[in-house]
Structure 1
Amino acid sequence: MEILHHVASLYHSITHLRHSFLDAHDDTMAASNAFHLATETADFLRANLPEQLARPRVAIVCGSGLGGLAKTVNAEREEFEYKDVPNFPVSTVAGHAGKLIFSTIGQKNVPVLLLVGRAHFYEGYSMDMVTFATRVCKVLGVETMLVTNAAGGLNPDYAVGDIVCLNDHLNIPGFAGFHSLRGPNIEEFGVRFQPLSDAYDLSLRMLVHKTWKELKAQSPNERRLHEGVYAFLCGPTYETRAEGKMLRQFGADVVGMSTVPEIVTARHCGMRVLALSLVTNNVVVEPTIRGDHPDLQGLSPAEVDAYLKRGMANHEEVLETGKQAALDVESLVLAVVSQL
């Protein structure tokens, strides 16, 4: 029996080492192929685009419920479904159309690329695939990435429908190793150790505030523009009460399931970054009521259920809020990009 125990122990050790080697080998292969695959995709797109649209300077990522940003582009445009683009991940989430739009914006005809929908880590994609579109943008010559998202509001001063210009983030999955730059560094894109204290371009944020004031002067409304910190979680579940409270105590103003991997990768590629969050729900941070609380006595099962669901987020609410605020977000993006 003792001999069998040693044999089993040795087998498990060898198996563990083999899997570790294969995982490391897969990471190396993925990293070494990333630049080649992004270049292959960029070459395909250029070959199917007119010259005037083949060199976008600005990429705009349209988050949940914000696909209407596609309406801000000029008449001349070329569209590609994600499923028809080599190597491209396909978005499976409602509110993400899954298409690339090459066009121009504004009277200056700023060449742009719109990514209407994105791939998320929670969909089962690797971080390499979540950030693949960002690297394709770099190869295409994009200089500035404007990333939008729908987010839950943690800051009690934020109202549903407010816009938040991001100035920092908390990469919670990154703390556990789910980082978009994990693996061998891809020298064609950037340095091994990427600083991120300057991740959110200050001059672009200044432009956003200036532009917002001008738009409000032209068309007064109650929607507010803030600056704040975005906490990235993997999803697909929304936050528990305890998680929301913890994130707020950590300094987060909004929370969501995207954006940060793209921003980290964009900065690694040397692109300027601007990010806008639309607050689509208020995250519940109050502790849940105890089961023996006097207020619950005598309530029907339906009343008890309604008590617990107060303020609970759902994806339909996210999309509906996006529709309601879309025009203001579209106007802001159009005015900002027109000046780049």
Structure 2
Amino acid sequence: MEGSYEAAAEAANWLRGRLGGVTPRVGLICGSGLGGLVAALEGAQSAPYGDVPHFKPASVPGHAGRVVWGLLGGIPVIVLQGRSHLYEGHGPAQVALPVRALALLGVHTLVLTNAAGSLRRPLRPGQLLLLRDHIDLPGMAGNGVLVGPNDDRFGPRFPVMAAAYDPALRRAALALAPPALRPRPGVYAGVSGPAYETPAECRLLRRLGADAVGMSTVGEATAARHLGLRVLGLSLITNMAAGGGASDDEEEEEEAERAGPEVATPSEHAAVLEAAEGAAVLIRDLLVALAPLLANRDSPTKGAGP
């Protein structure tokens, strides 16, 4: 039943019964410390995850565990304050279930936010990474959200992930983001956690082409694309991952490896939450500016760009 069409439909129908006939076309999932994004909603109403059929209560600090709905810049939206993670013991299907429920509710565009650690020296805390691609380490290891029998009511057996994150929405976000966020496009590496990455793991991810690393998002993005949703991914850089200040120069990297692991300050979750909460108001302003484009399913999604 977990993650099944029937479970997602039951959750969607429960939500539909509380939305007063309004169908939100835009969904937002808030990452660690970013639940304050709901402050931009007008006429907001909410329900705890425990009340929604098949949703799991949040167990991670910085995740309120509520569904919130209201108007964002005059556009009906539905927001998930917190998410399910693999490291909490949830299966991949449970990670996908809220995304599937939102799609069955009528959402066609999904904004995924997260707090992430930088793998590159120029990418600093407080900066916003607009996702142009991802590396799904759990999925590549067999813990993907689509593993198992395929339900064609959700999508095809082999969904194409070549443009997982909508190029037009990313370009718009780059143009509209407050300068203080220093926005740039990049690649997000998703890992299962909950242990923070070792310096050697960070060097590996950097060499694979990742700019930032975190413990969420990739499964939700995969489920969304399986459903045919447009996806915008926003990673707020809250800390430098272990070894994240290392050089991109190959010779310097090799010298660092010979010298042994860097001594790094532990990336405590409390510090991550503090950094995320401090930048939430800027991301909130960006989402208000983006709201009309997010709501317009027919806005252009093709073309080259960052």
For the 8 Å contact 1:180–1:264, the answer to whether it is kept is yes
Matched, 1:270 2:228: yes
Q: Structure 2: which 5+ residue stretches go unaligned?
A: 247-255, 295-306
Report the equivalent of 2:33. Answer: 65
Distance 1:86 1:173 in 2: 26
Report the equivalent of 1:77. Answer: 44
Counterparts of residues 237-316 of structure 1 (less than 5 Å): 237-285=195-243, 308=263, 310-316=264-270
Report the equivalent of 1:175. Answer: 140
> Which structure has the greater CA radius of gyration?
1
Q: Under a length normalisation based on structure 1, what TM-score does the superposition of the two structures give? A: 0.80
Q: Residue type matched to 1:61 in 2? A: I
Q: CA deviation at 1:48?
A: 2.4
Report the equivalent of 2:17. Answer: 47
Q: Under a length normalisation based on structure 2, what TM-score does the superposition of the two structures give? A: 0.88
Q: Structure 1: which 5+ residue stretches go unaligned?
A: 1-28, 292-306
Deviations 1:29-73 (A, max 9, x none): 657xx1111111111111222113xx1100011100101101011
Report the equivalent of 2:55. Answer: 88
Task: State which of 85, 89, 93 in structure 2 corresponds to 1:124.
Answer: 89
For the 8 Å contact 2:2–2:97, the answer to whether it is kept is no
Counterparts of residues 117-156 of structure 1 (less than 5 Å): 117-156=82-121
Distance 1:30 1:208 in 2: 34
Q: CA deviation at 1:176?
A: 1.2
Partner of 2:147: helix, strand, or coil?
A: coil
Counterparts of residues 19-38 of structure 1 (less than 5 Å): 34-38=4-8
Distance 2:95 2:89 in 1: 9
For the 8 Å contact 1:63–1:118, the answer to whether it is kept is yes
Counterparts of residues 100-115 of structure 1 (less than 5 Å): 100-106=67-73, 109-115=74-80
Distance 2:163 2:257 in 1: 38
Identity %: 41
Partner of 2:267: helix, strand, or coil?
A: coil
Distance 1:335 1:211 in 2: 7
For the 8 Å contact 2:8–2:100, the answer to whether it is kept is yes
Report the equivalent of 1:163. Answer: 128
Deviations 1:256-312 (A, max 9, x none): 000000000000001000000000001122558979xxxxxxxxxxxxxxx94x332
Distance 2:61 2:10 in 1: 28
Distance 1:182 1:236 in 2: 22
Number of residue equivalences: 282
Q: CA deviation at 1:164?
A: 0.3
Task: State which of 325, 328, 332 in structure 1 corresponds to 2:279.
Answer: 325
Distance 2:223 2:284 in 1: 25
For the 8 Å contact 2:2–2:94, the answer to whether it is kept is no
For the 8 Å contact 1:105–1:338, the answer to whether it is kept is no
Distance 1:244 1:72 in 2: 35
